[in-house]
């Protein structure tokens, strides 16, 4: 017997069921965590990882830790590919859970930012094939994490980009570098100085995303097609090529670790930034944009 977990919503409440499935009939391996649902299709050996933290899949410490640990498990299981998406159509993630930034406790800020960087690095650096199915808005941290994937498809009529400047915050330099890798330095400069959120169409024209799809289902099947298209590529050669094309960015990010964490703690931990964050949260709650 194989034990699986099934999560369903009944009358608005999330219910977790333990399923006993005969091994012979199993087509899905399921090992979801609290905030991230995971299923691995036994036939394709592809994992779908769905962010599932209401209301907006905010990236708090727990989500980041779970995400990183699940990716490690998928690496051990040597899956053929990982598809990252949201369980809630309309929002991939609202980015960093702003509650994590509402503190001047330097140790907490340092811990959060170290985890945030490590999780990004894990995704950026994984030898696994990764495809982001961006099935909703993807501001700031959401955009950043999708840029770590090997391929991005996005559903129409949503927004993606680094909006930090609009909020009065400064995005990390490595986010700017990564976006510049995809859309070019000039466009990245314009985007980050304006804190620009791009529509799906604009993001596609610039190269921030690779393809547009109509809905999540089409996104998932497109992602599977991308993963299948690598089936005949020698695995080791693909992994080394991925590492080589990403090495320069990686080396710089690791070299700058201490400076980056110090800047984050000083920037977010200052009274001035705390006021800005507080005002932004109030605006967000009263929907005054
Ligand atoms: C010198 C400098 C050196 C170094 C600096 C280094 C690093 C700097 C780090 C700064 C980096 C920041 C990255 C980020 O990710 S910041 C977060 C940016 N995110 C946003 O601005 C998104 C805001 N949210 C939205 O736009 C919308 O909520 C969204 C489009 C996602 C969904 O819209 P919808 O209408 O469906 O929902 P809402 O009613 O707006 O939201 C529902 C409830 O969720 C709350 N919410 C939304 N987003 C967040 C969030 N990111 N964190 C926490 N809470 C969030 C929202 O307030 C609603 O709450 P309630 O009113 O229901 O209580």
What is the ipTM score, two decimals?
Answer: 0.97
Pairing type for strands 159-161 and 136-139 reads parallel
The set of protein residues with a Cβ atom below 6 angstroms from ligand 1 is 55-56, 58, 91, 94-99, 137, 139-141, 163-164, 167, 169-172, 263-264, 267, 284-285
Question: For residue 2, what pLDDT is reported?
Answer: 42
CATH code of the domain in which 181 resides? 3.90.226.10
What tens digit of pLDDT does each residue of 225-244 get? 999 999 999 999 999 999 99
Q: Which residues contact 187 (CB under 8 A, 6 or more apart)?
A: 180, 206
Domain total of the chain: 1
What tens digit of pLDDT does each residue of 40-77 get? 999 999 999 999 999 999 999 999 999 999 999 999 99
Token pair 């990010």 is found at 253
Distance 95 CA to ligand 1 centre (A): 6
Q: Two tokens at 268?
A: 């977010």
Q: Which of 14-18, 120-124, 269-273 has the lowest mean pLDDT?
A: 14-18
pTM of the full structure: 0.91
Distance 96 CA to ligand 1 centre (A): 7
Q: Two tokens at 5?
A: 């977990």
> Confidence class of residue 30 from pLDDT cuts 50, 70 and 90?
confident
Give the range of the structural domain holding residue 58, as residue numbers without chain letter: 3-288
- Ligand 1 atom nearest to CA at 284: 57
Question: For residue 73, what pLDDT is reported?
Answer: 96
What tens digit of pLDDT does each residue of 94-136 get? 999 999 999 999 999 999 999 999 999 999 999 999 999 999 9
């Amino acid at each position: 017997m194989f034990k699986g977990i099934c999560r369903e919503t009944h009358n608005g409440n999330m219910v977790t069921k333990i399923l006993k499935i005969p091994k012979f009939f199993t087509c899905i391996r399921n090992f979801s965590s609290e905030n991230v649902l995971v299923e691995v299709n036994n036939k394709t050996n592809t994992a779908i990882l769905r962010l599932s933290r209401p209301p907006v899949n905010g990236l708090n410490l727990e989500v980041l830790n779970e995400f990183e640990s699940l990716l490690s498990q998928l690496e051990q299981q040597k899956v053929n590919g990982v598809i990252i998406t949201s369980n809630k159509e309309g929002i991939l993630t609202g980015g960093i859970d702003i509650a994590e930034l509402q503190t001047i406790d330097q140790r907490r800020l340092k811990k959060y930012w170290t985890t945030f960087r490590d999780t990004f690095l894990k995704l950026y650096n994984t030898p696994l094939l990764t495809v982001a199915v961006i099935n909703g808005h993807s501001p700031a941290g959401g955009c950043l994490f999708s840029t770590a994937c090997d391929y991005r498809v996005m559903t129409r009529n949503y927004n993606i980009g680094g909006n930090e400047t609009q909020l009065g915050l400064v995005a990390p330099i490595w986010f700017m570098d990564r976006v510049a890798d995809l859309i070019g330095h000039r466009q990245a400069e314009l985007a980050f100085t304006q804190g620009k959120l791009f529509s799906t169409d604009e993001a596609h024209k610039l190269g921030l995303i690779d393809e547009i799809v109509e809905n999540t289902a089409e996104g998932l099947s497109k992602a599977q097609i991308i993963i299948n298209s690598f089936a005949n590529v020698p695995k080791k050669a693909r992994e080394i090529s991925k590492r080589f094309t990403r090495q320069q960015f990686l080396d710089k990010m690791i070299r700058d670790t201490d400076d980056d964490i110090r800047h984050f703690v000083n920037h977010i931990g200052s009274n001035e930034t705390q006021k800005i964050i507080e005002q932004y949260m109030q605006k967000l709650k009263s929907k005054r944009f």
